[in-house]
Amino acid sequence: MTLLTTWPESGPGTVIRRTTDPGEIAAVLAPIGVRYEQWPLRDHVPEDPEPEAVLRAYREEVKGLVAAEGFATVDAVGLRPRKDLGWRLAAKAERKKFLSEHTHDDDDEVRFFVAGAGAFYLHVDREVHAVLCEAGDLLKVPRGTKHWFDMGASPSFTVIRFFHEENGWVGNFTGSDIALKFPDFDALMAARAAA
């Protein structure tokens, strides 16, 4: 179940809003330019799918979004936990990169979660909105929006990524340490389970 939690940018001491209602999540995010919607899940996508299988399974939805938004590139990527040290170190480095607040000048950040979960944190209008996304969730963060992403200590997700620019993901890091002040992905997952 998707979870939206909103705090003041000063820190997580006060919860402004917490909801799992998809309609309310979309309504809260729309005024700040963030698109949230849910797509139906496909039963025939394997547990650890190849990118081509993911894109085939969601061909119609991808085609419709590309036509509506003019995306130049679409791909599918994922991470699944493995026990080897090399994977753990690579996942830790990848997580650290996305945990720093950043913006994108030339593109929106658009992700559809095919499987697993991840959390987008949106720093807008003196608030931080944490959107704990799961399979079926589509989130579009507009270019110029300060945000960060947390995949957790043991990442497990598959997403379809949409890009207007051929060069893919390019982040402009703000240098802020704000991400360190707020609950991480694993804490959000624990809060959701307790609710």
Binding-site members for Fe(2+) are 102, 104, 109, 147
Which sign does the torsion angle of CA 41, 44, 50, 55 carry? negative
Residues belonging to the binding site for Ni(2+) are 102, 104, 109, 147
**What distance, in Å, lies between the first and last C-alpha atoms of the chain?**
11
Q: Which two tokens stand for residue 172?
A: 């402009």
Which sign does the torsion angle of CA 140, 21, 29, 101 carry? negative
CA distance 133 to 101: 18
Which sign does the torsion angle of CA 27, 114, 185, 142 carry? negative
Residues belonging to the binding site are 102, 104, 109, 147
Cα separations (Å) of 34 from 129, 143, 160? 11, 10, 17
Q: Which of 131, 120, 130 has the alpha carbon at shortest distance from 7?
A: 130
